[in-house]
Amino acid sequence: MRTVRILTSAVLAGASLFGLAGTAVADSPTPSPSASEGAEAAAPTEAGTSFRTATAIKPDQPATADASTGDYLYWVLPVDTRQRATVKAKVTLPAAAARHGAATWQLDVYDGLRRRQACVYGAQTRAAAKDAGSVELSCTLRTVRGWAEPWANDPLPGSYYVRLTVVDLPQEDLGLPVHADVEASVADQGGAHAVDGRLAAPLVPGAAAAASKDDEDASSPRPAALREPDGGWSSGRWSDRWIWTAAGGALAALAGIAGYRATRGRGRPSQLPPGA
């Protein structure tokens, strides 16, 4: 019975620790939006034409742009450690009567070092038939790491650039008007993707130049690409992996105590048998 009670206590202790881990992650306070944040959250209605002029967007913030077929359209958003980003784009094409054939559109995502990141899910390139009214693209990136080897191409925290353009079409269709809808979302993958190392700073191009400029003129606006995620960058901060590690260690210790008590003898006899 004592062994049963010990094992029951171990299970209850583990359950309470796991519940604490879930509570610590789920009960993080959500800041209330202010009036200025509401104005800032207005959906952008234009796109940049290069990395330097990319239009800044936030995760889950829709963006639109009217452009000409053949233009390169750029947006930029912050993606932090342990987040997996998914970018979706919809291109509304010109009327079929004005087009001369099929067109192939492509959605690319680059990190702060302008390295093209591979998509693990989604249709990154799609061909639209001559009579198609629109074409939809998507790209889900790998989970962003807090640190990587210099030779690796792992996605790292910082600015991520979205580029949308047509890559194949009849020459006569260049310049026709198109409408683009883009939206990016991020999902936190948790402490399972945490690593021990971390970057000294997120990969945000122009951060040093902007900092020196702000020293000269504190009222000058920062470049759009320098916007941080809500709550700031979390690279290298606390990870829920710590709680799961502590919970696993506590359960292992309790299980070891319970196993020892269950396998040892019932105690030494009160007296030796006669003739011993």
Which residues make Cβ contacts (< 8 Å) with residue 109, sequence separation at least 6?
85, 87, 116, 117, 119, 139, 141, 160, 161, 162, 163
Is 173 contained in some domain? yes
Which two tokens mark 173?
């269709």
Is 203 contained in some domain? yes
Portion of the chain with pLDDT greater than 70, in percent: 65
> Residue 70: is its pLDDT beyond 50?
yes
pLDDT of residue 227: 65
Q: How far is CA 96 from the centre of its chain?
A: 37
The domain that holds 78 is classified in CATH as 2.60.120.380
pLDDT of residue 243: 61
Between 46 and 220, the more confident residue is 46
Q: How many domains does the chain have?
A: 2
Is 210 contained in some domain? yes
Asked whether residue 113 falls in the same domain as residue 226, the answer is yes
One-character DSSP codes across the chain: -HHHHHHHHHHHHHHHHHHHHHHHHHTPPPPPP-HHHHHHTSPP---BSSSTTPEE--TT--EEEEEETT--EEEEEEE-TTEEEEEEEEEEPPPGGG--S-EEEEEEEE-TT-PBPPPSBS--EEEE-TT-SEEEEEEEPPPPPS---TT-----SEEEEEEEEEEE--GGGTT-EEEEEEEEEEEE--GGG--S---SS-B-TTHHHHHHHHHH-TTSPPPGGGPPPTT---TTS--THHHHHHHHHHHHHHHHHHHHHHHS-S---SSPPTT-
89-98, 151-160, 201-210, 237-246: range with highest mean pLDDT: 89-98
Which two tokens mark 177?
């008007």
Question: Average pLDDT in the 271-276 region?
Answer: 58
Instruction: Name the residue range of residue 164's domain.
Output: 43-236
Is 194 contained in some domain? yes
What span, in angstroms and rounded, lies between the C-alpha atoms of 12 and 2? Answer: 15
Is 4 contained in some domain? yes
Asked whether residue 144 falls in the same domain as residue 228, the answer is yes
pLDDT digits over 149-163, tens only?
778 888 999 999 999
pLDDT digits over 108-151, tens only?
999 999 999 999 999 999 999 999 999 999 999 999 988 877 78
pLDDT digits over 212-245, tens only?
444 444 444 444 445 677 777 774 455 555 565 6
Asked whether residue 247 falls in the same domain as residue 179, the answer is no
Asked whether residue 224 falls in the same domain as residue 139, the answer is yes
Asked whether residue 149 falls in the same domain as residue 18, the answer is no
> Residue 267: is its pLDDT beyond 80?
no
Asked whether residue 152 falls in the same domain as residue 227, the answer is yes
Between 172 and 199, the more confident residue is 172
Asked whether residue 108 falls in the same domain as residue 179, the answer is yes
Asked whether residue 111 falls in the same domain as residue 229, the answer is yes
Between 213 and 185, the more confident residue is 185
Is 15 contained in some domain? yes
Asked whether residue 230 falls in the same domain as residue 248, the answer is no
> Residue 38: is its pLDDT beyond 80?
no
Is 32 contained in some domain? no
pLDDT of residue 39: 45
Asked whether residue 65 falls in the same domain as residue 130, the answer is yes
> Residue 90: is its pLDDT beyond 80?
yes
> Residue 72: is its pLDDT beyond 80?
yes
Is 109 contained in some domain? yes
User: Could you tell me which of 205, 119, 196 has the C-alpha nearest to residue 155?
Assistant: 119
Asked whether residue 125 falls in the same domain as residue 199, the answer is yes
Between 194 and 260, the more confident residue is 260
pLDDT of residue 268: 55
> Residue 29: is its pLDDT beyond 50?
no
Which two tokens mark 133?
């009214």
Cβ contact 60:124 at 8 Å: no
Asked whether residue 202 falls in the same domain as residue 253, the answer is no
